[in-house]
Amino acid sequence: MNLLLNKRPILVTGSRGLLGTEFVDKLRSFLPPSQVVSPDRKELDITNQDQVSLFFQDHKPAWVINCAAYTNVDLAESERDSAFSINVNGPRILAQACKDHGTKLVHFSTDYVFNGKGNNPWRETDLPEPLEPNWYGKTKWLGEKAALENDSSLVCRIQWLYGSRQNRFSALKEKASFTPFIDQFGAPTWTRDIVDWVLAILNRGGVGLFHLAYDDYATWYEVYEFVKQKWNLPVKLAPSHLHNLKLPAQRPLNGRLSNTKMLDFLKLKTAGSWKDSLNIFLEEGS
């Protein structure tokens, strides 16, 4: 489905957030303003079935790109109902509304659905097993299953996002010391790349489950060392171990995501390195 040829609107939920903002900006760069619908939560609460149904009747979207999510990993342990409502009930309601109206759904999940064991990149065929306690990871797993109940849904697992709405790295300029994790593996992912990959998959008719990731991985310590060198900062980096912290929620140590399926589907040889994208981002923000 070519989004340029489609005349029905595209609905972006969570449009004020990190990823939603990036989608809205990108879509409005090549579509008429009326074709990109970006309500805030007061205008559209995805956990309210009646409100969602009325919104679909009024706007008749061709696509829903669901960027709404409960993302506070530790707070989810004490706000379980809120996390479940947004991360599970929300995509379930959207998936049903999409099925009823002939609308395609894009939904986002996370590497936190895995237990983080081993050193191999996680594939789409690997069985999720969120750690205990990790209510956030469990709700994201249940949410992606709810979205996939609609056969025309596209669910994308992503991780360690950064972008213009949330620059993870600028605070490093103000710190004398910082303690990034040296035992958690994944890759910082630019929201601009996520948007480009998703639109490419959509335009090729992709549905089902995809991991969106670069070709390589790193620890958070390596990422912040890269930033330190790029910006020539005096901050002292003191690596720490995630497993030594007593956080309310457990985090998977191995969050590596395999991008083989994405590359094969898009007929690409490479998705590039996280360093290349982060380098451009840091240059823009320096």
The CA distance from 262 to 194, in Å, is 12
Catalytic residue among 136, 214, 217, 221: 136
Nearest to 143 by CA among 166, 110, 114, 119: 110
In one-letter notation, the amino acid at residue 264 is: D
104 forms beta bridges with 63
Q: Which two tokens stand for residue 28?
A: 């409005």
In one-letter notation, the amino acid at residue 248 is: P
Name the burial class of residue 75, with classes exposed (0-12), middle (13-18) and buried (19+) by CB atoms within 10 angstroms of its CB. Answer: middle
> What does the angle CA 260 – CA 265 – CA 271 come to, to the nearest 5 degrees?
50
The CA distance from 137 to 266, in Å, is 28
The CA distance from 66 to 88, in Å, is 12
136 is catalytic: yes
> Active-site residues: which are they?
136
